[in-house]
Amino acid sequence: MLNHLKFLPGANMQFIDLKSQQDRIRDRIETRIRQVLDHGQYIMGPEVQELEVKLADYTGVKHCITCASGTDALLMALMALDISPGDEVITVPYTWISTAEVIALLRAKPVFIDIQPDTFNMDPAKLEAAITSRTKAIIPVGIYGQCADMTRINIIAAKHNIPVIEDGAQSFGATHHGKKSCNLSLIGCTSFFPSKPLGCYGDGGAIFTPNDALADKLRQIRIHGQKVKHQHPLVGINGRLDTLQAAILLEKFTLFSEECHRRAEIADRYNVLLADIPGIQTPVVAANNTSVYAQYTILTDDREALSSNLKSKDIPSVAYYTAPLHLQGAFTDLGHQPGDFPISEEVAAHCLSLPMSPYLRREDQAAVVAAMK
């Protein structure tokens, strides 16, 4: 009976299924790990450089600099641009805290602008009004798997000579006008947190740039500002990606393109199955964009009732970013009040992410939709 139950729709359903992927390549991952154990170069070993070359080739960017986390990627990017106390950096309030946290860590000021109601990404129409003489960078976020409107953002940024850092922690693998995420601005950053479309088995991240001087500076920052051993011309951090994580990512990367395709197919199926349910807004992918669906996120008129009903049938769901950053205690000094960014607040109050992975079975997907109906 127990063996039968585990194959029933909804039984032991995972919000993000990492095990099925691991089952496919477990032997190869273990071989890679053994190779690291054999050569013993646990910090900046050859697998790190091998991964950087492959990721740079995949995105079409000249330089890839791996690092210890997606947060470190954003922090290092700001440090490389010499962001200083009193500077302003424009971003959005509907995102994970790292995007604004790194700005505050450098004693700069996060300046929030609202998001678009369909893609939940930065609204370029609100960007120019937020720019001042103190604006030193702009950080759009590719939320839930698709890039922001980087074309319009870049045009406005170029007009004011402001660098753009793409936060591609969730959108790595997506495209905008045919170009890959993290190849859409001066600097692109991503995360390899385990739940990301390309994730390792710990923390990890990467930075991409076409600029030689910035790449050299980022490599210095990654190793305590060190240019040659024991010489530190600038202040940096301990931001290196572990060799073991690089080895794991190399094997997981062999499946990445296939898994991105599977994610899109599963999202398309969700869109069809959910089309006739009132009170549900399915994800909108902008024209000229593709999405890797890091999460499949809907808006619902009654999130509490829907999530409770799913839970009663052992179906997991997650409400992300239910308190936008401008209403978080960490940013009370900015003086924002409820209503300052109404679209972010509306999305935060109604968003719900459904199970999504390249290995979500059709019968499980059908069970999710049946429970919602």
List, in order of start, the domains of the chain with CATH numbers.
2-11+256-372 (3.90.1150.10), 23-253 (3.40.640.10)
What is the model's pTM? 0.95
**Predicted pLDDT of residue 286:** 97
**Predicted pLDDT of residue 1:** 33
Q: Is 130 helix (H, G, I), strand (E, B) or coil?
A: helix
**Predicted pLDDT of residue 228:** 87
Residue (of 209, 234, 213) closest to 222 by Cα position: 234
Is 196 designated active site? yes
**Predicted pLDDT of residue 4:** 38
Contacts of 311 (CB under 8 A, 6+ apart): 317
Active-site residue among 109, 136, 180, 196?
A: 196
**Predicted pLDDT of residue 7:** 41
- What string of pLDDT tens digits covers the 373 residues of the chain? 334 334 445 557 999 999 999 999 999 999 999 999 999 999 999 999 999 999 999 999 999 999 999 999 999 999 999 999 999 999 999 999 999 999 999 999 999 999 999 999 999 999 999 999 999 999 999 999 999 999 999 999 999 999 999 999 999 999 999 999 999 999 999 999 999 999 999 999 999 999 999 999 999 999 999 988 889 999 999 999 999 999 999 999 999 999 999 999 999 999 999 998 999 999 999 999 999 999 999 999 999 999 999 999 999 999 999 999 999 999 999 999 999 999 999 999 999 999 999 999 999 999 999 999 8
Q: Is 161 helix (H, G, I), strand (E, B) or coil?
A: coil
Q: Determine contact, residues 364/7, Cβ cutoff 8 Å.
A: no
Our CA dihedral for 223, 227, 229, 232, rounded to 10 degrees, sits at -80
Q: How many CB atoms lie within 10 A of CB 263?
A: 22
**Predicted pLDDT of residue 11:** 55
**Predicted pLDDT of residue 234:** 93
Geometric angle at alpha carbon 113, from 127 and 283, rounded to 5°: 100
